[in-house]
Amino acid sequence: MKDEGAKLLGFVAATLAIVVVLGVFGTRLLGAAAGPEAELITWLKKHEVPGASFDAQGALKGDRVSYQRLSVSVAPDGLSAVVSGTLDFTGKRDGVTISSLGFERVRFDRKGDEWRAVDGPAPRLNAILRALERRRRALQAGDIPQAEGLDEAEAARYRRLEQRSFSVDAWYIRSEKEGIEVSEDYRLKGRLPERPVDEKGTRRLSLAEDARGEFLFPHGLL
């Protein structure tokens, strides 16, 4: 009886130890057992919760987020990886509504036993938003460079505006490998010599990726 009791106590102690270990290290241990592919997909899927941050500053917040059709490529040395797929994102940044659907590519480095996203969980989306924000600042300043396909009359109107204010309510982004299409809801306020201006509108924009992975407006800002 004593031997059976000792065995039972030993079994209970071992079970409790396993429960404690899984409680503390469970996700990491299970991820390691399943391989790096499962770890990386799990890392991204953790961002599919309302309020998750998608940039280093914490300004880009997701409301409804879904990573789909994910493909994982791990380097032979196991120290880096790339996850490609589709990101369906709805959220806000600095009061601007962001809705984006399209291709995303996330690079990872392995530090010890943990994976780290080199450029965050949505590098392509953030690169697009950087380009759109640069354009918004340029229009606010009336700094509109010449470009093939630029609407010169509209550019001249922006440059002539006094007390100029250009704001964006929403960007609706369709992101493909070949290019980016954006629908922008904006408001333009100011004063021309002949009349005041206060207009709301929607404009279609096209972006193209350069060799550095940044995005440009090949047909001008307008």
Q: What is the pLDDT of residue 196?
A: 96
Least confident of 26-30, 48-52, 62-66, 162-166: 26-30
Same domain? For 131 and 116 the reply is no
The C-alpha atoms of residue 208 and residue 128 are separated, in whole angstroms, by 10
Same domain? For 133 and 212 the reply is yes
Q: 212 exposed, middle or buried (CB, 10 Å; 0-12, 13-18, 19+)? A: exposed
Q: What is the pLDDT of residue 10?
A: 47
Q: Does some domain include residue 221?
A: no
pLDDT category of residue 204 using cuts at 50, 70 and 90: very high
- Pick from 121, 145, 168: which residue ends a domain? 121
Same domain? For 136 and 174 the reply is yes
Give me the domain span that covers residue 113.
35-121
Structure tokens belonging to residue 211? 């060799």
Greatest CA separation for the chain: 103
Judge contact between 180 and 206, C-beta under 8 A. Answer: yes
Q: Does some domain include residue 104?
A: yes
Q: Which pTM does this prediction carry?
A: 0.82
Same domain? For 45 and 107 the reply is yes
Provide the terminal-to-terminal Cα distance of the chain, rounded to the nearest Å. 87
pLDDT category of residue 149 using cuts at 50, 70 and 90: confident
Is the pLDDT reported for residue 22 higher than 50?
no
Q: How high does pLDDT run on average in the chain?
A: 87
pLDDT category of residue 34 using cuts at 50, 70 and 90: low
Question: How far from 133 is each of 124, 140, 216, CA to CA, in Å?
Answer: 14, 10, 12
Letter for the amino acid at 157? R
Judge contact between 135 and 221, C-beta under 8 A. Answer: yes
pLDDT category of residue 4 using cuts at 50, 70 and 90: low
- Pick from 106, 121, 136: which residue ends a domain? 121
Same domain? For 131 and 212 the reply is yes
21 versus 6: which is more confidently predicted? Answer: 6
The C-alpha atoms of residue 157 and residue 142 are separated, in whole angstroms, by 9
CB-based contacts of 36-41 (< 8 A; 24+ apart in sequence) = 36/72, 36/74, 36/78, 36/81, 36/110, 36/115, 37/72, 37/74, 39/115, 40/72, 40/81, 40/83, 40/108, 40/115, 41/67, 41/70, 41/72, 41/83
**Residue corresponding to tokens 């789909």:** 68
- Pick from 97, 121, 145: which residue ends a domain? 121
